[in-house]
Structure 1
Amino acid sequence: MQLSGKIALVTGGTSGIGAAAVRRLASEGARVIVVGREGPRLRPSGVPIERTEPIAADVTDPDAIARLMSEVKTRHGRLDVLVINAGVATAPPIQELAPASYEALMGVNCKGAVFTFVHALPLLAEGASVIFVGSVAARKGQPGDALYAGSKGFLRAFARNAGTDPDLLQRRIRVNVVTPGPIDTPLSAAATADPQVRAYVERLIPMGRWGKAEEVAEAILFLGSPASSFTTGAEITVDGGMSHA
């Protein structure tokens, strides 16, 4: 197995892409720490209980992230794979943006992602892999997505630079981004319950269908495995061709 004996951590690992990543990494032998806000929901279905460890943490709180990483250090002493997936997509139209709605989205998507990365740095083992989960929204303008798209564009720029940081490269730490397009998850299903909306989205995708969380998880596995040993600062797009249409 590609990740036998490795320690992985996935934020937002309770459902959707995060849960699929937990299942895939565990299937390749990793012991996966599943991070989310709600303790009772922290074990995704389909993963052997002995392969996962749930830890509740609010990624919008840097102190909570620091405590999370301290717990990981106590339990394992290191991290080999870090998947920064926690994110939200709810934001009002641009004309109605207020500081509170800005903070609610950016606190998770940007501040949470950055400080998860920062507090994990001392734990990252030699040759570790960090994977940020972005969005095609950062590359494909859509009405109503300005703040969300901006947050994901920030992640892409952050990872591009972190992935070429000399101190990290000296430790052979890789930093990359997986960029999903429309993926069929419980969250996206709730947001596009109207069949006409789902059909509209499908028309934007050259492959003519929504993606599966498991398809994104395969890209995450590649970047988390030794197969990506010469890949850093890069982006793998899993969007059915949407960003090129």
Structure 2
Amino acid sequence: MSIQLFDLSGKRALITGSSQGIGHALANGLAAAGAEIILNGRDEEKLKAAAESLGARHTLAFDATDHDAVRMAIDTFEAQVGAIDILVNNAGMQHRMPLEDFPADAFERLLKTNVSTVFNVGQAVARHMIKRGSGKIINIASVQTALARPGIAPYTATKGAVGNLTKGMTADWAKYGLQCNAIAPGYFDTPLNAALVADPTFSAWLEKRTPAGRWGKVEELVGACIFLSSDASSFVNGHVLYVDGGITASL
């Protein structure tokens, strides 16, 4: 097998929520594999700083929860700049609270940020990919796509939805030449998990619970993303790839 199967030269990749954390790391990894990256976020200043740090030529500052704004931004980019060959749906948020006390507005915000964004950006980009007969969509799911933990039931529900929406994308779009898959990270040291990383009790529990015995590093997600973005995964579709140090494999 040639290493060229993993070469992303000549491809253009949009990564939502890429001004920090997992999205930033994936954007950096895709760029290193040869892709031209497009960064996205809502905070224009953070987005500008991320673009400078990664040497990115393109940024798209839109709110991924706004269906009309997403459609306009994607259509304009495709018309004025060119094709988006790879989409990484990474935008997401967390809210921790016991389910019996969970605020309704926080639940709705989680649904919009973690699920509606995947639908909004996925649909807008796929409409162009379908016309070309090719494209890669990678949704960022979670270990919570398969497992639950106290205090994050609504987040668990949203990530379960991301896993099934990925399968639905495949059912509708594989016939047009698109490969739609998901990466499900375990516990990674990111801004989203800052409170847990800082909690020695939780970190000790996690290290015992995870066969690999540690937190993941965001750079360890890059290989999976390159694989699912490249020709190497040309017949991989509707798959949720867990990158979790073995946490879903062991009781």
The TM-score, its normalising length taken from structure 2, stands at: 0.91
Equivalent of 1:152, from 154, 159, 169?
159
- Report the alpha carbon displacement of residue 189 of structure 1 after superposing the two structures with TM: 2.3
Q: Counterpart amino acid of 1:74?
A: A
Q: 1:220 to 1:91 in 2, by over 3 A?
A: same
Any idea what SS the aligned residue of 2:127 has? helix
Equivalent of 2:46, from 41, 48, 59?
41
Q: Counterpart amino acid of 2:146?
A: R
Identity between Structure 1 and Structure 2 (%): 34
CA contact (8 A) 2:196 2:202 kept: no
Q: What whole-Å deviation, never above 9, does each CA across 1:55-75 have from its counterpart, x for those lacking one?
A: 211111112211221232133
- Report the alpha carbon displacement of residue 158 of structure 1 after superposing the two structures with TM: 1.0
- Report the alpha carbon displacement of residue 205 of structure 1 after superposing the two structures with TM: 0.6
1:105 aligns with 110
The reply on whether 1:79 has 2:84 as its aligned counterpart is yes
The Cα RMSD (Å) is 1.7
CA separation in 2, counterparts of 1:156 and 1:226? Answer: 22
Which residues of 2 match residues 44-83 of structure 1 at below 5 A?
44=50, 48-49=54-55, 51-83=56-88
1:115 aligns with 120
Q: 1:70 to 1:59 in 2, by over 3 A?
A: same
Q: Give 1 or 2: higher strand fraction.
A: 1
CA contact (8 A) 2:15 2:87 kept: yes
1:194 aligns with 199
1:224 aligns with 229
Which residues of 2 match residues 105-184 of structure 1 at below 5 A?
105-124=110-129, 125-165=132-172, 168-184=173-189
Any idea what SS the aligned residue of 1:178 has? strand
For structure 1, the 5+ residue unaligned runs are none
- Report the alpha carbon displacement of residue 48 of structure 1 after superposing the two structures with TM: 4.6
Report the more deviating stretch, 190-199 or 138-147.
190-199
CA separation in 1, counterparts of 2:72 and 2:189? Answer: 33
For structure 2, the 5+ residue unaligned runs are none
Any idea what SS the aligned residue of 2:59 has? strand
Q: Counterpart amino acid of 1:149?
A: T
Any idea what SS the aligned residue of 2:85 has? strand
Equivalent of 2:213, from 208, 219, 222?
208
Any idea what SS the aligned residue of 2:88 has? strand
2:241 aligns with 236
- Report the alpha carbon displacement of residue 215 of structure 1 after superposing the two structures with TM: 0.9
Any idea what SS the aligned residue of 1:122 has? helix
CA contact (8 A) 2:51 2:59 kept: no
Q: Counterpart amino acid of 1:129?
A: K
Report the more deviating stretch, 102-111 or 185-194.
185-194
- Report the alpha carbon displacement of residue 12 of structure 1 after superposing the two structures with TM: 0.7
Structure 1 residue runs of 4+, over 6 Å off? none
- Report the alpha carbon displacement of residue 25 of structure 1 after superposing the two structures with TM: 0.7
CA contact (8 A) 1:26 1:52 kept: no
Q: What whole-Å deviation, never above 9, does each CA across 1:153-211 have from its counterpart, x for those lacking one?
A: 0010111121132xx22321010010000011132124431222222222211110111
Q: Counterpart amino acid of 1:35?
A: N
Report the more deviating stretch, 141-150 or 187-196.
187-196
CA separation in 2, counterparts of 1:41 and 1:71? Answer: 22
CA separation in 2, counterparts of 1:127 and 1:90? Answer: 36
CA separation in 2, counterparts of 1:97 and 1:18? Answer: 27
Any idea what SS the aligned residue of 2:50 has? coil
Q: 1:45 to 1:202 in 2, by over 3 A?
A: farther
